[in-house]
Amino acid sequence: MREDAPPPQITVLDAGGQYCHLIARRVRQLGVYAEVRPSDATAETLTGRKGIIISGGPNSVYEPGSPSVDKALFDLGAGVLGICYGQQLMAYLLNGSVRKGDKGEYGHATLQVSVRDGLFQGLGADEPVWMSHRDQVEKPPPGFDVLASTDTCAIAAIGDPARRLYGVQFHPEVVHTPRGMQVLENFLFSICECRKDWDPRGRLDLLEEKIRETTGARNVFFFVSGGVDSSVAYRLCLRALGPERVRGAYVDTGLMREAETEFVRDSLGVEIVDAGAQFLDALQGVWDPEQKRHIIGEQFVRVQETVLQSGHYLDGDWILGQGTIYPDTIESGGTAQADLIKTHHNRVAGIQKLIESNRIIEPLTSFYKDEVREIGRELGLPDELLDRHPFPGPALAIRLLCAEQTAPVEKLPEGWMIPVQTVGVQGDSRTYRAVLVLDNPGWNEEMFARATVTVNRLQNINRVVAQSGAHAPIQRMSVVAAGLTPERLHRLRRADAIVRRLSHEAGFDSKVWQFPVILIPCGTLDRPDSVVLRPIHSVDGMTAQAVKMEEPLRSRMTSELLNAEGLCAVFHDLTHKPPATIEWE
């Protein structure tokens, strides 16, 4: 805890959920200072808290070794709110029962509220919420009432008002639970009787102070990507330390989008390092997505070391700066109990060594994408830079799927299963599963509901897509063995450029948070690849909602893509996060 922060009124206990710190951030947004502690913090150390929130997590409460909490905290007199796994843990420890659900519930659900006071004061009888679970409470503990349910989960909220103990199966902290902040506000002020004591404004002075404290007399060298995060971190260090102590370089990995290098050079005025051949050579013959990320991360480290040595940055007292933000560390298993969702290039072994040797500074690791943009605006960075769609550090490499061997598509009652593997996050755990092409999607809002129901029901998939157009029927297509080749990279780069141009012309790019374009090795002999469009809406990247494209943009985009060499079909990803991650790898 910082010396200039007030004593925490709320403690969030981390049971391994990917949204753990997001809960604390929401509490702070409501004006109450909150801290995050491990789930095994003793009740004695939590004395004096007005409220305790137990986060979600990837485990099952009835399995040996799963995270738990000190049972005595329920007798402290503080308000307690269990979220998802936290509700299940509360029920389990207080003599209720928890069981594995008949099917998972991931994404949107409708909460049917039966008790509309206390925790649900001001909410309607039916409220949209965001779910990510399979286990559920089968019987509430003695003294608890059932407060709400969904069609899939009969006990979606429980409460014992006399003891100020509550649990919810849904996630009120994510943006896709529209009234979630009202639920948290009710808990903070009506149940816990918190007072407002936190104002996040003035963060620049605190960040600059922390940068100067961390660097001491050392200088900082940045490898900027041109994205929002690294650009803001770079400018933040420039402001804190001055241009004589901060240097920047941009590594062109050969995996970038069209005109990306020129944009970064013109916007930030940093040195350009051409390392395309090195990266592409290292990725030849690699198809596994985790291996790709590791290779890219390690190549970054090698390039960094070469640049640092050639610039004599290691002769003096220099450290490495990065634009790592909070979701990067969480999805890489950054909390004590968190499951690995995917390895980010700035958390591979080489970077970890720099961290361990105290040769790295990451000033934005406590912030989310929307907060980073706010910091950038406080720094005076232009909207053209700050409003860019997020772009992954490994660049197009993780949007270009590879396959080790050829395999046919498979007919299922719901559609056709494409045997490519994509990363998902279901119940706070990583999944690595196939993709389903929905039969007769209809191209209306109902297709998203169908996709959600389908992905919840089928355990061997974590994504559902709809076909927007194709040169061949799906039954004639197959996944072909393919790697990361210059030819396929060029194919994806051109497709991405087409999508970005048409989105910008239609004003669609301002309506979505991100629009990944993915190349998959699925097609015919003469057209071996297909494109997947992934427009999504999000605020912080922790959750995301798939977005429908309106006509005629979809038709025009599909037509132009199908005219490109080597492309067989165009698909539209209908899957929210969870159960699918934003990126496919």
At residue 219, what is the residue type? Answer: N
Which residues does residue 274 pair with via DSSP β-bridges, in sequence order?
Answer: 252
At residue 2, what is the residue type? Answer: R
At residue 124, what is the residue type? Answer: G
Residues 284 and 168 in one domain: no
| Number of other residues whose CB lies within 10 A of the CB of residue 113 | 20
Q: Which position among 105, 127, 133, 173 bears the catalytic label?
A: 173
Tokens standing for residue 76: 């402290």
Residues 242 and 317 in one domain: yes
Residues 86 and 152 in one domain: yes
**Judging by DSSP bridges, how do beta strands 517-520 and 567-573 pair with one another?**
unpaired
Q: What is the pLDDT of residues 379-392, one digit of tens each?
A: 988 888 888 888 88
CATH number at residue 497: 3.30.300.10
Residues 83 and 126 in one domain: yes
Distances (CA, A) of 217 to 84, 317, 319: 46, 8, 10
Asked if residue 1 belongs to a domain, the reply is no
Q: What whole-number distance in Å separates Cα of residue 414 and Cα of residue 269?
A: 52
From 157, 191, 225, give the residue that closes a domain: 191
Q: Which position among 171, 176, 572, 576 bears the catalytic label?
A: 171
Residue 335 belongs to what domain range?
203-396
Q: What is the mean pLDDT of each run of 10 residues along the chain (585 residues)?
A: 68 87 89 90 96 93 93 97 97 95 80 96 95 91 97 95 97 92 98 88 83 93 87 95 93 93 87 95 92 89 81 74 74 49 49 71 80 88 86 90 95 96 80 92 89 90 96 96 96 98 96 96 97 91 88 96 98 93 93
Which residues does residue 464 pair with via DSSP β-bridges, in sequence order?
Answer: 436
> Which helix H or strand E contains 52, and what residues bound it?
strand 51-54
User: What pLDDT is recorded for position 333?
Assistant: 47
Indicate if 176 belongs to the active site: no
Residues 503 and 409 in one domain: yes
Q: Which position among 20, 84, 192, 568 bears the catalytic label?
A: 84
Contact 132, 57 (CB under 8 A): no
**Collapsing DSSP states into helix, strand and coil, what is residue 35?**
strand
Q: What whole-number distance in Å separates Cα of residue 302 and Cα of residue 190?
A: 54
Residues 118 and 219 in one domain: no
Residues 492 and 363 in one domain: no
User: What pLDDT is recorded for position 341?
Assistant: 45
User: What pLDDT is recorded for position 369?
Assistant: 75
Residues 46 and 130 in one domain: yes
User: What pLDDT is recorded for position 353?
Assistant: 64
Q: What is the pLDDT of residues 237-247, one digit of tens each?
A: 999 999 999 99
Residue with tokens 């949007």: 399
Indicate if 84 belongs to the active site: yes
Residues 355 and 414 in one domain: no
Q: What are phi and psi of 343, to 5 degrees?
A: -90, 120
Structural domain count of the chain? 3
From 396, 424, 458, give the residue that closes a domain: 396
Asked if residue 582 belongs to a domain, the reply is no
Q: What are phi and psi of 171, to 5 degrees?
A: -110, 100
Q: What whole-number distance in Å separates Cα of residue 502 and Cα of residue 505?
A: 5
Indicate if 173 belongs to the active site: yes
From 374, 396, 418, give the residue that closes a domain: 396
User: What pLDDT is recorded for position 1?
Assistant: 37
Residues 220 and 364 in one domain: yes
